Amino acid sequence: MTTAAIIVAAGRGLRAGGGLAKQWRPLAGRPVVAHALAAFAGMARVLVIHPDDRAMAETVADGALIVAGGATRAASVRAALEALDGSGVTKVLIHDAARPNVSPELIARVITALDHAQGAAPALPVTDALWTGADGRVTGTRDRSGLFRAQTPQGFSFAAILAAHRAHMGEAADDVEVARAAGLEVVMVTGDEANQKLTFPGDFIRAEQALNRTGARMDVRMGNGYDVHAFCEGDGVWLCGVKVPHHKALLGHSDADVGMHALTDAIYGALAAGDIGQHFPPSDPQWKGADSQIFLKHAADLARSRGFTITSADVTLVCERPKIGPHAVAMRQALAAMMGIEVDRVSVKATTSERLGFTGREEGIAALASAVLVAK
């Protein structure tokens, strides 16, 4: 079965302060909605936004489909469901962007429950006494028996909830209300106290403390890159941003910096953002002879725009000649400056292939690279 997640972020709620709708306010270094999106990484995602927020949404979407919402929450969810229609999705999770601390365990409980039910939603029993009140005074009490606090993600059979939303007229508190109005049975799974909805300023303080304490929303990505360039006539090779004297050059559409190309692809790989060829097509003449730092800086900027820090970069150059050791420090410094990180987070080293293969025959140079990205 194919599962998709809808992240509802079209509201205008300003009670949390900060001058922004709460889903766009920063939390532990990146927007609240970015945490919610990261929680559902690995499945198809739809981000529903207010039309005025598209520019912000594009910086955090991380591959999610962006859909403009409607005048009500129900209309926004329906727009996302319609966007998924025909995609082969069979289960859908609908989650409030203002709940950034949703755990993988809670998500798994909802998905598992959908194996045997058309709808499933997390809930917590009400344990506090309930009062009614007016003018700052208690006017009565209410029985809390059988009462639960609703949470998201709320999960459904895709076909069933799409039909329910198409038939629903007007607003609804959540998607369980829409489902029940259509006669769908919704089962409850155990919710999570940490999965709080951000509403007031103090909620942000508690949510950030929870993130710092548990690291639950830390997102660690690793990518690998590999590149090869053949030798051609010339008087030096560009390697990791440094021109190294040699009796040959490297052949390529750009400056053929094989080390920088491998590292750039490693960063794109960690972001699941394709490779250099997708961002800078070799068929485009504007990149003929281009300085490869353009590519590396683009990858590093893309990582930052998605809330990631490059915490480690490692490049291995494979060649018989030229010798890399005398230039390794300069290469590390050049790469660190381009990525905007400390030089002690960058490694450049070299090896030979023991005279085997094209590198052993000194026909060209190969490079392998890895990059680790962290967001929290």
Task: Report how far residue 226's alpha carbon sits from residue 219's, in angstroms, rounded to the nearest whole number.
Answer: 24
| Structure token digits, residue 210 | 């929870």
Single-letter amino acid code for the residue at 93? L
What architecture (CATH level 2) is domain 219-375? Answer: 2-Layer Sandwich (3.30)
Q: Is 262 left (phi over 0), alpha (psi -120 to 50) or beta?
A: alpha
Task: Show Cβ contacts of residue 346 under 8 Å, excluding neighbours closer than 6 positions.
Answer: 313, 314, 315, 332, 335, 336, 339
What is the number of other CB atoms lying within 10 angstroms of the CB of residue 284?
A: 10
Domain 3-214 and domain 219-375, same fold? Reply is no
Task: Report how far residue 331's alpha carbon sits from residue 240's, in angstroms, rounded to the nearest whole number.
Answer: 5
CA torsion, points 40, 41, 47, 52, in degrees to nearest 10?
Answer: 120
CA torsion, points 284, 289, 291, 295, in degrees to nearest 10?
Answer: 30
Which class for 86: exposed (0-12), middle (13-18), buried (19 or more C-beta within 10 A)? exposed
pTM over 0.75: no
Q: How far is CA 100 from CA 40, 45, 156, 197, in A?
A: 11, 15, 21, 8
Q: What is the pLDDT of residue 17?
A: 45
Task: Report how far residue 107's alpha carbon sits from residue 110's, in angstroms, rounded to the nearest whole number.
Answer: 5
Taking domain 3-214, whether its CATH number is 3.40.640.10 is answered by no
Contact predicate 252/292, CB 8 Å: no
24-72 tens-digit pLDDT: 998 887 899 999 999 998 899 999 999 999 999 999 998 899 999 999 9
| Structure token digits, residue 75 | 């209309």
Kind of pairing between the strands at 309-318 and 154-157: unpaired
Q: What is the pLDDT of residue 135?
A: 94
Q: What is the pLDDT of residue 16?
A: 45
Task: Report how far residue 282's alpha carbon sits from residue 129's, in angstroms, rounded to the nearest whole number.
Answer: 67
Q: How far is CA 112 from CA 39, 53, 63, 120, 124, in A?
A: 17, 33, 25, 9, 18
204-223 tens-digit pLDDT: 888 877 766 555 456 789 99
260-280 tens-digit pLDDT: 999 999 999 999 999 998 899
Contact predicate 207/201, CB 8 Å: no
Nearest to 367 by CA among 296, 316, 313: 316
User: Which positions of the chain have pLDDT values less than 70?
Assistant: 1, 13-19, 211-218, 376
Q: Is 179 left (phi over 0), alpha (psi -120 to 50) or beta?
A: alpha
Q: What is the pLDDT of residue 374?
A: 87
Task: Show Cβ contacts of residue 209 under 8 Å, excluding neighbours closer than 6 positions.
Answer: none
Residue corresponding to tokens 């469901």: 81
| Structure token digits, residue 358 | 């094209």
Domain segments of the chain as ranges: 3-214, 219-375
Kind of pairing between the strands at 364-375 and 65-68: unpaired
